[in-house]
């Protein structure tokens, strides 16, 4: 995971230098418009994996073959369905609403089409990637993650030295990587899981519950898509593609760090769903509390030194090509990410129960409110940083709302949750930054100070975690992940 992080960040530097800030911003807003439709893909992925895990956990009901074939049918329908709004409304929006320089308009259209093809491949990949997750083949998933980032690094250097239009070539090569990843997922799943045999039988009794679960899950994902892409569009309309470039850089930094939590959740999700399917409620709660603390601590441990040394890190990462507002954007997006990490375990328990409706409606209302409130602040003349403050405040409120909604579908003690999770996590973020901040006041800005700040932050994080935050099983889980044991033993 450390390799993935370093290569991802370095690739961003090379791409930003190769494309320049304006083209990087165009790519961010155009491809981002397409990926906003990926919320359907995300919801279907979670749904397919859940039904795979239920088949494995209960050992009765629907078979893996039933789930696989139903997923194939649903994903094929979804792929065709996505093409319609993308090639109609999407093209209209790019032509009439996006702020794109006239001389880069043709390149933006090519990027759009390549992004659409990449999204379709991602949709068709779901029955295979979800099977790999359900069977907990985390080593192969890790290898594909490494391949993906190394391929992106190769793309970065290709566009840096090409004489062809860099933005168009960047979109084409990213689409090619998506195609290769599709065949790698497909080939591995078909060769290792004998139950993945195709037929043309329509299983109506399974089709409906899979669509129901994915539909409500997609409703919640839709809210996050509206927030993310809506803010992207607002910033584009009010400030142009240069601010979109700053947002793209800050999101890249967040994604690189957030990938650590994603890997924990990937290892955790099959165990939680199977525990719920077998009625082991004690283990469900244990996994819920464990994941909440471990993911929060891991993201906070990585984010604290980055926030403290953000200006130097950005210069080290991007050189002198730093878009305006990148520093405050990155700080606020990392704080938001750390707080939101507590919401992920909550949503995973809700997914395990399958009782999605009220939870997703509540989440959708909270998250979607970010967009109109941000619009009001921008209309009043506030700078673009205001939208990140709005998002942060509503994220904090949403965390409390989600915990209350979880209690309605799964019995647990809010008092115990606060005692075991919230209070230790708050203590962690208060204590850990103190010494690293003192170091920045004593030593001048330098690479040596960056190393010292990072090392001290990690050491204090581990010490505080062991003494105040984690119990024995959580310490083992935390150390296993740090050592990169990417399999179910992480949470055993």
- Mean pLDDT for 209-218 is 77
Region of poorest pLDDT, from 31-35, 240-244, 410-414, 478-482: 478-482
pTM: 0.74
pLDDT value, residue 136 = 76
Is 468's pLDDT higher than 90? no
pLDDT value, residue 2 = 56
The DSSP call for residue 489 is: G
pLDDT value, residue 455 = 93
pLDDT value, residue 195 = 84
Query: What is the count of structural domains for the chain?
Result: 1
Cβ burial of 130 (10 Å; 0-12, 13-18, 19+) is buried
- Mean pLDDT for 58-85 is 81
What CA–CA distances, in Å, run from 358 to 2, 13, 287, 363, 407? 38, 42, 23, 9, 11
Q: Are 293 and 425 in contact (CB under 8 A)?
A: yes
The rounded percent of the chain whose pLDDT value lies above 90 is 27
- Give the closest residue to 400 by CA, choosing from 336, 346, 338: 346
What CA–CA distances, in Å, run from 103 to 22, 34, 164, 323, 361? 12, 21, 15, 21, 43
Q: Which helix (H) or strand (E) holds 216?
A: helix 204-239
Listed in sequence order, the residues at least 6 apart from 29 whose beta carbon sits closer than 8 Å to its beta carbon are 98, 232, 233, 236, 241, 244
pLDDT value, residue 478 = 63
pLDDT band at 481 (very low <50, low <70, confident <90, very high): low
Q: What is the mean pLDDT of the chain?
A: 84
**For 125-184, what is each residue's pLDDT tens digit?**
989 988 888 787 878 877 888 888 889 889 988 988 888 888 899 999 999 999 999 999
Token reading at 219: 């409703």
- Mean pLDDT for 251-279 is 79
Is 485's pLDDT higher than 60? no
């Amino acid at each position: 995971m450390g390799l993935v992080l370093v290569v991802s960040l370095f690739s961003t530097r090379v791409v930003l230098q190769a494309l320049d800030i304006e083209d990087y911003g165009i790519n961010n807003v155009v491809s981002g418009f397409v990926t906003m439709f990926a919320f359907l893909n995300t919801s279907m992925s979670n749904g397919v994996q859940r039904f795979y895990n239920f088949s494995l956990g209960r050992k009765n009901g629907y078979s893996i073959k039933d789930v696989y074939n139903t997923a194939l049918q649903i994903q094929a329908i979804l792929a065709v369905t996505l093409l319609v709004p993308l090639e109609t409304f999407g093209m209209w929006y790019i032509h009439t609403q996006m702020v794109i320089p006239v001389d880069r308009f043709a390149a933006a259209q090519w990027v759009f089409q390549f992004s659409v093809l990449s999204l379709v491949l991602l949709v068709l990949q779901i029955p295979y990637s979800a099977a790999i997750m359900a069977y907990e083949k985390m080593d192969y998933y890790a290898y594909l993650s490494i391949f993906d980032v190394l391929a992106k690094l190769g793309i970065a250097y290709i566009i840096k030295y090409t004489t062809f239009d860099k933005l168009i070539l960047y979109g084409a090569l990213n689409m090619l990587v998506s195609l290769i990843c599709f065949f790698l997922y497909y080939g591995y799943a078909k060769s290792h899981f004998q139950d993945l045999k195709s037929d043309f039988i329509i299983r109506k009794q399974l089709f409906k519950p899979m669509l129901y679960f994915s539909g409500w899950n997609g409703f919640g994902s839709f809210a996050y898509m509206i927030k993310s892409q809506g803010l992207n569009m607002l910033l584009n309309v009010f400030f142009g593609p240069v601010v979109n470039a700053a947002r793209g850089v800050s999101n890249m930094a967040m994604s690189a760090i957030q990938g650590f939590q994603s890997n924990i959740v990937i290892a955790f999700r099959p165990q939680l769903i199977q525990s719920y399917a077998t009625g082991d409620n004690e283990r469900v709660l244990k996994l819920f509390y464990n994941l909440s603390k471990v993911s929060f601590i891991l993201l906070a441990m990585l984010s604290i030194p980055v926030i403290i040394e953000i200006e130097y890190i950005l210069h080290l990462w991007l050189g002198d090509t730093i878009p305006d507002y990148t520093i405050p954007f990155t700080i606020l997006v990392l704080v938001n990410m750390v707080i939101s990490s507590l919401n992920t375990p909550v949503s995973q328990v809700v997914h395990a129960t399958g009782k999605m409706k009220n939870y997703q409606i509540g989440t959708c209302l909270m998250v979607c409110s970010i967009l109109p409130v941000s619009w009001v602040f921008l209309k009043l003349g506030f700078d673009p940083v205001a939208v990140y403050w709005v998002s942060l405040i509503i994220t904090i409120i949403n965390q409390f709302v989600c915990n209350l909604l979880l209690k309605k579908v799964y019995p647990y003690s809010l008092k115990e949750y606060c005692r075991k999770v919230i209070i230790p996590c708050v203590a962690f973020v208060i204590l850990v930054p103190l010494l690293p901040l003192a170091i920045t006041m004593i030593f001048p800005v330098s690479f040596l100070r960056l190393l010292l700040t990072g090392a001290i932050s990690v050491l204090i994080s581990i010490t505080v975690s062991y003494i105040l935050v984690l119990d024995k099983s959580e310490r083992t889980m935390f150390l296993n992940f740090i050592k990169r044991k990417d399999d179910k033993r992480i949470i055993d």
